[in-house]
Amino acid sequence: MLSNSLAVMKRQRNELNLPELPLYGRSDLRSLYDRMKIISVEEPTFFEKNGEIIEIRAHHAGHVAGAISLELIYNSKCIFFTGDVLFSDLCTLDGAQLPINPVDVLVMETTRGGADRPPTKKRELEMTRLLEDILRTLTGGGSVLIPVFALGRMQEILVVLDEARKNKSIPTSPVFCSGLGMDLVNHMHQISQNYKGVRFSRKVLRSLGAQPLPRKINPGDSPPMQGIYLVSSGMLVEHTPSYMLAASMLGDDRNSILFVGFCDPSTPGGKLLQSKQGECFSFEAINIQQKINATVEQYDLSGHADRDELLRFAESVSPKTIILHHGDPDARSWFSQQFQKKDITILDPEPLIEYDF
């Protein structure tokens, strides 16, 4: 992932005229790898310096393969970092398995604190809606573009498509895959052999008959083959396969562009989701405009726990102090209001400010 980000930054330096990029180089990565220490999940790791000891325990956090929550014990105090956490099981990944022990300080993500999830937006119902839209598009003679995050979401959607085809929920159709996610397919397969929390096999590619992208995809022209295009980036970042394909598919009302993850409003994907049918959409990086004729939809398949789930977890570990992070201001504000009703110190920290607790 770090190596791929380096390649992206090098490209952006020229495209966007950002001379400060890249923020690191190959030598930095080599130096970093030498400093990495792999720790086991659930087993304590001890670090000692100058007679002082810190105990660290990693806990499976759901979200994506490899995500952990981190428990630190120092001077008889326990600090617990949730990190990004998802309690629900996915078809490729177990939900978070966090200990319910009292902690002194809880550092908690607040991503979904800004709004409750409506009953009609439950993950199972959203996945059903996705498959129904894929079925409608394919039977109508169109193609489906599913922009995906390379880590986690691509592998999850591959399994979902394979199961749906076996259940005859969607017809047999070519499936095209590309991008960093294909490298991570092999990585997740290897992880699943040694880690019980991950369930994924690269055999799904053979089962689906997954193919690389057709060579001749000209932005603005229809794709040479009808099918399902499962490619990154998930937010249609400029010059990525999903960006080029969107420029090819947006003008045809038989096609669908189906977003299965979050899109920052400032990205091309976010801007497309804010646009209306019939408007012209500009793919500025390649100087192409397309009328929005294709179906454009987004599905709530977040890799983050709902706010009520996070609230229940926080209450279960009885923290004396809660530090809110990784959420928009309205999300952090909602949690702050909930915890103010209890005898808990709440910190909504500001950058570059030092806090004592």
pLDDT tens figures, 87-103: 999 999 999 989 999 99
Q: Dump pLDDT digits (tens) for 274-307.
A: 999 999 999 998 999 999 999 999 999 989 999 9
Q: Same structural domain for residues 281 and 294? A: yes
Domain of 72, in residue numbers: 55-116+304-347
Find residue 281's DSSP bridge partners.
290
**Is residue 277, in this structure, part of any structural domain at all?**
yes
Residues 212, 242 share a domain: yes
223 and 337 belong to one structural domain: no
* Residue among 79, 142, 134 nearest 105 (CA): 79
CA–CA distance, 221 with 219 (Å, rounded to integer): 6
Query: Does one domain contain both 258 and 244?
Result: yes
In this prediction the pTM is 0.90
Q: What is the mean pLDDT of residues 182-206?
A: 88
Judge contact between 273 and 259, C-beta under 8 A. Answer: yes
Whether 219 is in a domain gets the answer yes
Whether residue 221 sits in one domain with residue 102:
no
Query: Is residue 257 within 8 Å of residue 294, measured between CB atoms?
Result: yes
The answer to whether residues 159 and 284 belong to one domain is: yes
Q: Which of 45-54, 196-205, 227-236 has the lowest mean pLDDT?
A: 196-205
**pLDDT at residue 357 greater than cutoff 80:** no
Q: Is the pLDDT of residue 196 over 80?
A: no
Query: Does residue 15 belong to any structural domain of this protein?
Result: no
Q: What is the pLDDT of residues 40-59, one digit of tens each?
A: 898 999 999 999 999 999 99
Q: What is the CA radius of gyration of the chain?
A: 22
The two structure tokens encoding residue 227? 């099918």
For residue 259, pLDDT beyond 80: yes
Q: For residue 180, give the 3-state DSSP assignment.
A: helix
Count of structural domains, the chain:
2
The answer on pLDDT for 266 being more than 90 is: yes
